[in-house]
Amino acid sequence: MSSRKTTELALALHGFFHDYLPKLKGMSIHTIHSYRDSLKLLLTFLGEGRRSLLKLSFADIDANRIIAFLEHLETGRHNSPGTRNIRLAAIHCFFRYVASSFPQCFLLAQQILGVPFKRAKTREIEYLEFDEINAVLDKIDTSTKDGRRDYALLVLMFNTGGRVQEIVDLKANDLRLSPPCAVRLFGKGRKERTCPIWAKTAQVLSKYLEERIIDPRAPQAIFTNHMGTPLTRFGVRYILAKYTKMAAEKNSKLRSKRLHPHSVRHSTAVYLLKSGVDLSTIASWLGHVSPDTTSKYATIDMDMKRQAIAKAKPVSDKKISRVTNWRLE
């Protein structure tokens, strides 16, 4: 095999991660890292049994090998269909770049882009009711420094409905703690939005910054761990799980829920909806690009469904008595 053939894949990967994703597509560092992890898994799979990954080339890749890799994710790594589809999305993105930059690989790119996504079962959205949010917050010991951090963190998450990465990336100068109180969030695709916060939330954050000696005008991380580095998504997940488990001791409904940081975001959306806020405002609040993403919240709350059926006019007894063959005359 010629050295040119063996370097084409390396050149494609270099161009994809150093130019195409960050410069031409303008993707966030988090998306780039996700794509990096997906292609790293693929390369490792393709290189199994070889003496060196450095000898991999486009000749070692075809649609059947991609399908085998996806099956390995589900059977060998026990990934869900959703995770499988995330990996495939990264592979598709890479081969769209390959098709335009390496025309000699156009047929290969077409074949791999033809590998379909797998239909995944849609899970029921898990969220916390307002009383459950309060039950979780009540379990936080605010007499400790860590407890006050955890309280400020979860209160802000519930108030804004921010994605966990948006919250851990927050800097002090993203907060406006004087009326009108608000927080500036940077979401997917580096989209910026301003979200209002309650006066009580602003008071909690103001005291928190004062205690931590954080200058509210400085681009300084707000929520940090014991080493002084910003909390990670996994750290936030641990914090939420810790207090949810404590609250579940007296709240049986919490025991059956599979909660994660994104559940707080769902909780905010449902709370706003129940409070009478319209879907378009909620979409703007949460930073949704498509209104379809927000409309799902209108279908998940059982209390709202019960209220709707209570308002609906029931079929009269007279009509019920005239039902024949399951049809109304």
Active site residues: 163, 188, 262, 265, 288, 297
Task: Please check whether residue 160 is in contact with residue 183, taking contact to mean a CB–CB distance below 8 angstroms.
Answer: yes
- At CB < 8 A and 24+ separation, what contacts does 22-28 make? 26/189, 26/190, 27/189, 28/188, 28/189, 28/190
| Residue 116, preceding peptide bond in cis (omega within 30° of 0) | no
For residue 192, list its beta bridge partners: 186
Of 215, 217, 177, the closest CA to residue 199 belongs to: 177
Torsion angle, alpha carbons of 168, 170, 172, 174, to 10: -160
List, edge to edge, every strand of the sheet that includes 192-196. Answer: 175-176, 182-186, 192-196
